[in-house]
Structure 1
Amino acid sequence: PDAKPDGVIVVKVLLDEVEESWAEQDAELFVTDSDNIIFMASHPELRMNALYPLSDEQRDALRETRRYAMEPLTPSGIQLNTPYGPGSYLVSFAHGPLSGGRYLSLTRPIPEFGWQMHILKPLTPVMNAQWIAAFMAGGLYGVIALAGGIGWQRLRLRREREAFAERERQTLAHVRDELEVSVERRTRDLVASNQRLSDEIEERRRAEANLRQTQDELIQAAKLAVLGQLAAGINHELNQPLAAIRAYAENARRFIELSRIESADANLAQIVELTERMADISAQLRQFSRKSSERQETISVQACIEYALRLFHSRLKEGSVQVEQQWAEATLWVNADLVRLEQVLVNLIGNALQAMKETPSPVLTLRAEVIKDQVVISVADNGPGITKQHLGHIFEPFFTTKAPGSGLGLGLSISSRIMEDLGGKLQATNLATGGACFTVTLPRSTAPEPSTARLKQENQPHA
């Protein structure tokens, strides 16, 4: 025991390569000696740090050994949080290079040297792995739950579709039954409505036929009324030839008794001429009084006016009426019903003569002209004209300004209706120089074929 060493042999071992290999690990490693001083570490900053804080006595003892020279032996800042078993703790560092993280510390002794090996496994990868595992487990559970939910949803939807299809089938069957009943009821209603409509149409046809017949009868009555007004003049027109025929017949008998055959023949020739004149008058009356065939044809406007004017020959002569005829030499043609157009002109001329009955110098102006593909026939007089309050009512049925018993007020109304049926119009105005003017407007037509015109002249000489 009293022996003294002769000398000291110091062996230095370089551990840099070992520490560098530790730096490549995914854990933090360091080694402490029996005094809990870290002398090897994967982090160089931890080297020569005290694992736990040292007391003053421990520091003085370590300085006397001069093992660590003048190193400050700063505490590493390790904090033991939760033990997990022998030599295993959940640790963290209050400062230093490993601060800010949590680690699982495993301590293993190295008894040959009195050292301890410390392995610090970071918890972040472990926690991430746990979270990933949890997410994967949750995802798997979610997938399973989703698959189960989808399956249940599909089953529920299938059952709902089946229930809906059944309800739809029942609803459609119910609707079909109601529709069949409604269609049957509607069909009965339509059949009844069609029958009523057919009855109404037939009734309307009968009413229109009756109306047309009534109109024709009114037109015919109006023509007969005009003939009644012309009766006195016609009587005079017939009495003159009859008196002359009687005189010529008596003269012819006397000449025969005297054997003057040539003189008797001359008297008989005069009788023939007078009978032809009477036949013309009769033909005019028969032509005017006949009913219309309601057949429109191409007729001459000038010839129609002249024919209507011939019916008033006696009245014109008795009233000393001056007649002015104003139209071009070329024949104007219109497509109309001859009898009805003649009746309109006869009514207008008769009204004009009636209006000029008290006029000192009566003038009847008849004009025919073409204005924009329309033939306009004017019948004007120089009488007193039509008052403003009467001008808007003269075409109304039964409206008349004549004395009672002189007319029914149907002439102008019937004439206006006739012009509408012929596709034309009848208008009345007052002349600035005095008197009234009635205008008949009809679409212009082209001249008929020569054979047709010749046939019409044979059947209707006046037009």
Structure 2
Amino acid sequence: MTHTAALPSAGPALRRALVRHHWRWLTMLALGLVIVIGTWGGRYATRVNFDAAALRGENTLRLAVAVLRGQMARFERLPQLIADQDLIRQVVQTPGDRAVVAEANAYLKEVNILLGSSDIYVMTQDGTTVAANNHDSDVSFVGENFAYRPYFFDAASGGEGRFFALGTTSLKRGYYFGAPIRDGDAVLGVVAFKIDVDGIEETWRGGDYEIIVTDPEGIIFMASRADWHFSSILPLTPDRLARTDQTRRYADARLRALPVTSDDQAGHRLMALTDVLGTREFLVLAEDMSEAGWTVQVLLDTASARAQALTTVIVALLLVGLGTMMAAVWLQRRARLMERMQLQRDARAELERRVVERTAELATVNRRLEAEVAERRATEAELRTAQASLVQAGKLAALGQMSAALSHEFNQPLGAARNFADNALVLIERNRIEDARDNISRVVALVDRMATLSRHLRNFARKPNSRLETVSVTEVMSETREIVAFRLRAADATLEFDPGPEPLLVRAGAVRLQQVLVNLISNAADAAEGSADRRIAVSARAEGGRAVIRVRDHGPGVPDAIVERIFDPFFTTKGVGKGLGLGLSISYNIIKDFGGELRVMNHPDGGAEFIIELIRSGRTTVT
């Protein structure tokens, strides 16, 4: 007994121990993830962002190199074409002939304008310029000696001259092509062709990167930033300066070294540069243009990539924190869920006990309910039968009221028929056959009239089925007129029917609709008996998608106090023995069965008006 009682108290303690164990593991896991993300994750995010930046930079680098190569390829064959001209060969052979020199100067100027180059000039074998496109400018090359330029001595030796430098006379940067002027195998002089590079630099500015072009000594010759021109990204050692001075590549320009430091990180070359904008770190992508002696480099600022990497690490740490919080909430909810589950188990056991106790009671109650349901179903069936009987009783009551008038209606034709028959016998005896035939025809007509009236009454008295079909209001009204004719004569009332401009078809049952019209017209005849105006007006119209039949009398109308009760069963304003109070109630239910509406109102000009709204129909029969 003692051991059994100790188990419930041990359960909560065990659960609390498990929760503390889970909390320790969760804390250790979160700290481990923070350490891993803070160290390895930072390096990985930096490498990923550097790789993405390098991919963008590679596209920029390829485009810049392609532009430079395309610009050089555009002009590289032109110097040799110019050198092959007879005029150029003649001017180096006779440099003292002023006419030839003047003609050569004009030719070079014209070609320079046509090709859009910077300068074109011709040098003799000793490097002296004898003709140039700028012969008439303030910076004329005529008379200048450029034998120290590599493009000259390479071409003078029979090869192709290539050199980029700052012009010593024009002080403008450009790329030089040199081509030998030949007379057979002998080299008579050199044609120099200089192209401008300023236009190319203009396309580099405005991007989120920097582009520089350096010579073999690391000196920046072209750059997207003009303040970097003639700066070196390598130390300016005496050997580098001596090689640069030997060719006077940069004329008298002052060279300076940029304060840069290089490093490799995440598989990429980085360069830190300090200038007037501060210290910035760049990702360096480079490609050699050996044919020009250049190195084209694209510098991408790493601030954006490092910011993205830092953002990635922060987001990862936040996710870890969020995950830890969610796990903590889950553990807490799980502990509470376990407690609730235990409470639910206890409650379930108590509930099962109570269910067992109540099952017997419920079984007894169910048996009682089943008996009551069966009794109510039987009552409902009886009510339906009673309702159908009431409808038929209403018609039979109406027929009962008609019986006296019908007796008179039949007696008159019967008496007339008897007289016509007697006369016919007398006429036959007198051999007046034609007159006898006329009397017999009248007897047949009277018999047909009585048969027609009998047929309408028989159809009216028959129980209708529930089938709905397309019914013509005009045809139903024609049969209704035959049935109520005796009632109208008894009340000295007249019936006026207005079928409308076109036949009106409705969805109804012909006999039941006829019963409704008989009831309404009979009531109108009762109301008209004490009135001066004994007209009963029936009209049929199509209004929108509905068919509206109006039955109006010119009697005293319906008192406001009974408007709400006029369709109630067994409610009547007639005297004792003159009605059951079922006619309007039956009519109301019949119209409802048709999916329509029956209502009553007092006409503004006097009298009551009953309004029937039915569904318009085509020729197709529906059920």
TM-score by length of 1: 0.56
Unaligned runs of 5+ in 2: 1-9, 19-338
Partner residue of 1:374?
546
Tell whether 2:454 aligns with 1:282.
Answer: yes
- Aligned with 1:230: secondary structure? helix
Contact 2:466 2:509 in 1 (8 A): yes
Partner residue of 1:412?
584
Tell whether 2:429 aligns with 1:253.
Answer: no
Q: How far apart are the structure 1 equivalents of 2:578 and 2:432?
A: 53
CA shift at 1:224, angstroms?
Answer: 1.6
Partner residue of 1:430?
602
- Aligned with 1:249: secondary structure? helix
Tell whether 2:371 aligns with 1:204.
Answer: no
Name the amino acid aligned to 2:384.
Answer: R
Contact 2:492 2:529 in 1 (8 A): no
Going from structure 1 to structure 2, the CA distance change for 1:187 and 1:341 (only over 3 Å counts) comes to farther
Tell whether 2:612 aligns with 1:440.
Answer: yes
Going from structure 1 to structure 2, the CA distance change for 1:249 and 1:185 (only over 3 Å counts) comes to farther
CA shift at 1:197, angstroms?
Answer: 4.2
Partner residue of 2:392?
220
Q: How far apart are the structure 1 equivalents of 2:369 and 2:616?
A: 40
Please report the RMSD computed on the Cα atoms of aligned residues, expressed in angstroms. Answer: 3.4
Name the amino acid aligned to 2:488.
Answer: L
Partner residue of 2:494?
322
Q: How far apart are the structure 1 equivalents of 2:372 and 2:603?
A: 48
Contact 1:324 1:363 in 2 (8 A): yes
CA shift at 1:213, angstroms?
Answer: 1.5
Q: 1:383 aligns with which of 530, 537, 555?
A: 555
Name the amino acid aligned to 1:288.
Answer: F
In the TM superposition, what whole-angstrom CA distance separates every residue of 1:396-436 from its partner, at most 9, and x where no partner exists? 23322222322222222222222223222211111111101
In the TM superposition, what whole-angstrom CA distance separates every residue of 1:319-362 from its partner, at most 9, and x where no partner exists? 44232222324222222233222221111101100001011231
Q: How far apart are the structure 2 equivalents of 1:200 and 1:193?
A: 11
Q: How far apart are the structure 2 equivalents of 1:285 and 1:168?
A: 79
Q: How far apart are the structure 2 equivalents of 1:325 and 1:186?
A: 70
Partner residue of 2:511?
339
- Aligned with 2:565: secondary structure? coil
What pairs up with 1:135-154 in 2 under 5 angstroms?
Answer: none
In the TM superposition, what whole-angstrom CA distance separates every residue of 1:291-316 from its partner, at most 9, and x where no partner exists? 12122222112222232222121332
Q: How far apart are the structure 2 equivalents of 1:191 and 1:410?
A: 45
Q: How far apart are the structure 1 equivalents of 2:532 and 2:344?
A: 92
Name the amino acid aligned to 1:255.
Answer: L
Q: 2:475 aligns with which of 256, 280, 303?
A: 303
CA shift at 1:365, angstroms?
Answer: 0.7
Going from structure 1 to structure 2, the CA distance change for 1:290 and 1:384 (only over 3 Å counts) comes to same
Going from structure 1 to structure 2, the CA distance change for 1:387 and 1:175 (only over 3 Å counts) comes to closer
Going from structure 1 to structure 2, the CA distance change for 1:391 and 1:175 (only over 3 Å counts) comes to closer
Q: How far apart are the structure 1 equivalents of 2:495 and 2:340?
A: 91
Going from structure 1 to structure 2, the CA distance change for 1:350 and 1:271 (only over 3 Å counts) comes to same
Q: How far apart are the structure 2 equivalents of 1:339 and 1:218?
A: 16
Q: How far apart are the structure 1 equivalents of 2:558 and 2:340?
A: 79
Contact 2:536 2:554 in 1 (8 A): yes
Contact 1:309 1:349 in 2 (8 A): no
Going from structure 1 to structure 2, the CA distance change for 1:195 and 1:334 (only over 3 Å counts) comes to farther
Contact 1:385 1:430 in 2 (8 A): yes
CA shift at 1:283, angstroms?
Answer: 0.4
Tell whether 2:445 aligns with 1:244.
Answer: no
In the TM superposition, what whole-angstrom CA distance separates every residue of 1:342-394 from its partner, at most 9, and x where no partner exists? 22111110110000101123111101112231111110011111122222222
Tell whether 2:531 aligns with 1:364.
Answer: no
- Aligned with 2:471: secondary structure? strand
Going from structure 1 to structure 2, the CA distance change for 1:198 and 1:356 (only over 3 Å counts) comes to same
- Aligned with 2:389: secondary structure? helix
Q: How far apart are the structure 2 equivalents of 1:353 and 1:169?
A: 80
Paired residues, what number?
292
Going from structure 1 to structure 2, the CA distance change for 1:444 and 1:186 (only over 3 Å counts) comes to farther
Contact 1:220 1:289 in 2 (8 A): yes
CA shift at 1:169, angstroms?
Answer: 12
What pairs up with 1:100-249 in 2 under 5 angstroms?
Answer: 157=14, 192=364, 194-249=366-421
Partner residue of 1:128?
none
Name the amino acid aligned to 2:499.
Answer: W
Q: How far apart are the structure 1 equivalents of 2:368 and 2:543?
A: 49
Going from structure 1 to structure 2, the CA distance change for 1:169 and 1:251 (only over 3 Å counts) comes to closer
**Higher mean C-alpha displacement, 263-272 vs 353-362:** 263-272
Name the amino acid aligned to 2:547.
Answer: V
Partner residue of 1:266?
438
What pairs up with 1:35-46 in 2 under 5 angstroms?
Answer: none
Q: Percent identity?
A: 43
Name the amino acid aligned to 1:226.
Answer: A
Going from structure 1 to structure 2, the CA distance change for 1:176 and 1:399 (only over 3 Å counts) comes to closer
Going from structure 1 to structure 2, the CA distance change for 1:325 and 1:183 (only over 3 Å counts) comes to same
Contact 2:533 2:555 in 1 (8 A): no
Q: How far apart are the structure 2 equivalents of 1:361 and 1:272?
A: 37
Q: How far apart are the structure 1 equivalents of 2:15 and 2:597?
A: 78
Partner residue of 1:145?
none
Partner residue of 1:110?
none
Contact 1:352 1:364 in 2 (8 A): yes
Name the amino acid aligned to 1:394.
Answer: I
Unaligned runs of 5+ in 1: 1-152, 162-166, 453-463
Partner residue of 2:211?
none
Contact 2:498 2:539 in 1 (8 A): yes
Q: 2:569 aligns with which of 397, 408, 411?
A: 397
Q: How far apart are the structure 1 equivalents of 2:611 and 2:16?
A: 87
Contact 2:391 2:586 in 1 (8 A): yes
CA shift at 1:261, angstroms?
Answer: 4.2
